[in-house]
Structure 1
Amino acid sequence: MVKEVFIGVDGGGTKTLTLAVNNEGKELSRHVSPCSNYHSVGEDLAKASIYEGIRFVLNQIKRENEDKEEDVQVKSICLGMSGVDREEDKKMVIGWISELLGPNVPCKIYNDAIIALASGTDGHLFGIVVICGTGCISLGFNKDGQTTRSAGWGPLLGDYGSGYQIGYDILRHVLRAKDETGPKTSLTKVLLERLNLTKEDSLISWAYDPKNQNWQKFAQLSTLAFEQANAGDEIAILILNDAANALFEYISSIVKKLNLANEPFPLIFAGGNIERKSMFSDLLIEKIKAAYPNADIKIPNREPVFGAALLALNNN
């Protein structure tokens, strides 16, 4: 007997999650391995992380089926990889998979936003996903298989609406209040407390610290806007409204380019800033419903790696 297995991989910037499902989409095994973004860790470590995950889930399934005398056969694999967008990158990763599983196992490589979409559409490539975490991106497919994206350019090139941008805007408004070129805001007090600083002047050292230059430290400030908006601070509300407007514009560009305005379509929310109910997500939903009443807004109850596994199962 043969046990058919379908594998999904979510290769993120911090970790790699591998998931195996059966032909009914039921989870069989999963594993977490290190980062597999080769731009961050290099080709050898990225390849090793992917191999670790695949080998683990297959070995676990084989052990659990020893008494059933079943051969475990990988029917298809799908990888959602951060940093793998160019055809040259995809060919490299497909080559790794061929070395491990053999050249006859179908292998698809997608942007990690696509598997986030698939996690909310049962593995079907139709609809729009908007992701808002440290960065942000929106991506979509229509029923003809046409696809397009908006945003995802990174903080330096304008990921407006992202966690990074919300954190940056907090700093900007706090310093405008300090200069008396903008209104006072309760964000000043909570920002200084969060960073263990006593005055705004110290923000210069924090922002330009050469030992701590990363986008995440700005994005981690975004929760302050959520908290103070709930407390009624007008500047915090303004920041969240500006961010919601930016995400709405990305979604609108996808709707227009794919001609989805006049038909029902799923709209998947992903990323920590919009997956949970908040004033921010409420503002965004309000804008979407007013403009696109046919949009079916969903927050997936499954992880993106499940979307990758379902794409493998559907062999998209």
Structure 2
Amino acid sequence: MKTFLAIDAGGSTLRATWMSGDGNLIRKETLEKNANFLSAGEKEIENILRFLKHKVPMVDALTLSMAGIDGKPEFDKVKALCDTIFPTTACRILPDADGAYYANFGIEPGVLVICGTGSIVLGKDEEGKRVRSGGWGYLLGDEGSGFWLVKELFRKYLAYCEFLEERKACFSVFEELFPGNPRDAFVYFYQPETRKRTASFANRFLSLSDPYVIELHQSGLKSLATQVLSVLRRMGLKQGRICLMGGVFSNAQAEDFFRRYLLGKLSALEQEQISIVAGVKNISDAIAQKMVGETTRSLDGGTE
């Protein structure tokens, strides 16, 4: 019986799922540590992979979805690590957005919208051609994301501190989080290791139901929806699914607004043919299930 290993390696948490060829769960691991290749570094990633190898030594196929390997040099280094640590294992390496896409769609066409700490839209057409929009990071984009919202509100707060903006009720959150000099809070916006915590402050602001916060956030969500439309047009997708993932969509009001706004931009025919659905909850579990399914279909001669 074959053993499959799926790894979802992000900037603050790594999840691993081992599954047998008949779809039974063998083991799961969750590590609360940075597994983004760019910020964690090659040595730390090597240590993590060796730790996982030790847990279940014999693995037939591995799919690793990892943050920080969009660039070819980083991708090649991680591929070399996997080939060294898992020498007898068939290894498939995916950037994290592609891993999330695979978890939701497998090889089917569709559009994935991720809006959590950051944001990105990734689509693939019938031929597997990759089309993306956004995902430029916290300095250049990430519209609608948790970090983006907190950053934009903090910019308004700094303007207020310099008598350039009227005081807003929501600024009390910053005064509670960062009492004293606002400059003391800069580390939360510039240090990679604090970025997820900074993004989590978005929940505090959204829970206020403050019209000022809601309007600002909706402007970011509109930009994100525009990116989805760009991907749809470039793909030529006429029917299929748009999957929503990420912590921002766990806020019911934000998700409802995004769905309604995006649907309103689709034609009547597109609204009938394209559905907007929630994405998978656990990427490593979903990838492992997809790996088992692929093997089953190949043994059945490609039939469902």
TM band (smaller chain): 0.7 to 0.9
Aligned 1:170-189 pairs, distance under 5 A? 170-176=153-159, 182=165, 184-189=167-172
Q: How many residues get paired?
A: 288
Unaligned runs of 5+ residues in structure 1 are 60-72
Partners of 1:179 and 1:16 in 2: CA distance: 41
Match of 1:205 among 184, 207, 212: 184
Partners of 1:217 and 1:302 in 2: CA distance: 20
**Superposition deviation, residue 109 in structure 1:** 0.9
Match of 1:249 among 226, 230, 234: 226
SS in 2 for 1:157: coil
Q: Identity of paired residues, percent?
A: 20
- Closer, same or farther in 2 for the Cα pair 1:87/1:191, shift >3 Å? closer
Partners of 1:223 and 1:284 in 2: CA distance: 17
| Contact 1:117 1:125 survives alignment (8 Å) | no
Partners of 1:181 and 1:92 in 2: CA distance: 48
TM-score by length of structure 1 reads: 0.80
Letter in 2 for 1:279: Q
Match of 1:162 among 145, 156, 160: 145
RMSD over equivalenced CA pairs, Å: 2.8
TM-score by length of structure 2 reads: 0.83
Based on CA coordinates, which of the two structures has the bigger radius of gyration?
Answer: 1
Structure 1 position 295 matched with structure 2 position 274: yes
- Closer, same or farther in 2 for the Cα pair 1:45/1:264, shift >3 Å? same
Match of 2:247 among 263, 266, 272: 272
Q: State the match for 1:304 in structure 2.
A: 283
| Contact 2:37 2:66 survives alignment (8 Å) | no
CA distances 1:262-301 after superposition (whole Å, capped 9, x unpaired): x222222111111x14221111111122223233222234
Partners of 1:17 and 1:295 in 2: CA distance: 31
Partners of 2:253 and 2:165 in 1: CA distance: 23
Q: Which has the higher contact order (CA 8 A, sep 6+)?
A: 1
Partners of 2:188 and 2:264 in 1: CA distance: 43
CA distances 1:151-180 after superposition (whole Å, capped 9, x unpaired): 111111222222111001222334455667
**Superposition deviation, residue 211 in structure 1:** 10
Partners of 1:235 and 1:227 in 2: CA distance: 12
Unaligned runs of 5+ residues in structure 2 are 299-304
- Closer, same or farther in 2 for the Cα pair 1:23/1:208, shift >3 Å? closer
Structure 1 position 75 matched with structure 2 position 74: no
SS in 2 for 1:145: coil
SS in 1 for 2:30: strand
Match of 1:30 among 28, 31, 42: 28
SS in 2 for 1:85: coil
Structure 1 position 18 matched with structure 2 position 27: no
Partners of 1:106 and 1:172 in 2: CA distance: 48
Match of 2:202 among 204, 207, 222: 222
Aligned 1:80-91 pairs, distance under 5 A? 80-91=65-76
**Superposition deviation, residue 304 in structure 1:** 1.2
Partners of 1:242 and 1:225 in 2: CA distance: 15
